[in-house]
């Protein structure tokens, strides 16, 4: 499942909180806007998804999203509607769209978002590891910091994810070679040090500080 960017649109703080709760377990970076700012935000930010609180005029607001999206392409729309709007609902023809009746669960919203923006490649929350600004997708072998991809080599990614998914335990270089590189690897143990240095330089800052050296032992990830 690849990282996506979502624009959450509502005038209501409780609705925005519901949207955030639903999308937080997914591989999504989020920005927020009021309905009156839809056009400006879509012009400024490249988004894959708009989660729109339709309020009393869902068709009008949905049309605004369609008009603001570049040619109506590339952006999916999840429209939140009131129960009484079901009979007259019309989703925009040029957008991939779905709707959700207000009062639905966060789990239903998440399921509809997955179907809209990751058709055929949905990942479960168990396949996503989040640490602060970092998201590691175990299903697609990708890592992102603040939504930006980290350019790991395969072995850097493999070493990094092993440590991140086994936090608060020190591993010697020999154990890391055996667990990450495999039993048929015959190179020197210092290759672990080289990969650790490269990983730290790529994740930087507070995240790099979590990847600690254990003197005379090896390395561990501070969870």
**What pLDDT sits at residue 192?**
92
**What pLDDT sits at residue 124?**
52
Q: Which helix (H) or strand (E) holds 137?
A: strand 134-137
- For the chain, what are the domain ranges? 4-122, 127-221
pLDDT tens-digit readout, 55-65: 777 878 888 88
Q: How far is CA 131 from CA 52, 57, 102, 116, 128, in A?
A: 28, 39, 31, 26, 10
Evaluate whether 104 touches 86 at the Cβ level (below 8 Å): no
Angle at 58 between CA 57 and CA 60, to 5 degrees: 70
Whole-model pTM? 0.56
How far is residue 135's CA from residue 131's CA, in Å, rounded to a whole number?
7
How far is residue 141's CA from residue 189's CA, in Å, rounded to a whole number?
24
pLDDT tens-digit readout, 129-169: 888 888 887 767 788 898 888 989 888 988 999 999 889 99
- Is the domain 4-122 a CATH 3.30.70.260 member? no
Under-50 pLDDT residues of the chain: 1, 71-72
Evaluate whether 207 touches 223 at the Cβ level (below 8 Å): no
Q: Could you give the strand order of the β-sheet that contains 218-221, starting from the edge strand earlier in sequence?
A: 171-172, 218-221, 211-214
Q: From the CB of residue 128, how many other CB atoms can be counted at a distance below 10 Å?
A: 18
Domain at 127-221: CATH code: 1.10.10.10
Determine the 3-state secondary structure of 145 from DSSP.
Answer: strand
């Amino acid at each position: 499942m690849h990282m996506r960017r979502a624009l959450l649109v509502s005038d209501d703080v409780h609705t925005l909180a519901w949207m955030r709760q639903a999308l937080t377990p997914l591989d999504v970076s989020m920005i927020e806007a009021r309905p009156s700012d839809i056009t400006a935000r879509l012009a400024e930010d490249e988004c894959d998804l708009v989660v729109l609180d339709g309020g009393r005029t869902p068709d009008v607001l949905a049309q605004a999203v369609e008009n603001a999206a570049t040619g109506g392409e590339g952006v999916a729309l999840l429209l939140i509607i009131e129960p009484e709007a079901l009979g007259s609902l019309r989703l925009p023809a040029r957008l991939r769209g779905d709707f959700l009746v207000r009062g639905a669960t966060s789990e239903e919203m998440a399921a509809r978002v997955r179907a809209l923006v990751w058709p055929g490649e949905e990942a479960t929350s168990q396949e996503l590891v989040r640490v602060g600004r970092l998201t590691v997708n175990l299903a697609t072998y990708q890592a992102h910091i603040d939504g930006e991809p980290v350019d790991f080599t395969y072995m850097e990614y493999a070493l990094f994810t092993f440590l991140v998914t086994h936090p608060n335990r020190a591993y010697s270089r020999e154990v890391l070679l055996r667990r990450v590189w495999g039993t048929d690897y015959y190179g020197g143990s210092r290759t672990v040090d080289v990969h650790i240095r490269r990983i730290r330089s790529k994740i930087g800052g507070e995240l790099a500080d979590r990847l600690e050296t254990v003197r005379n032992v090896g390395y561990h990830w501070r969870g």
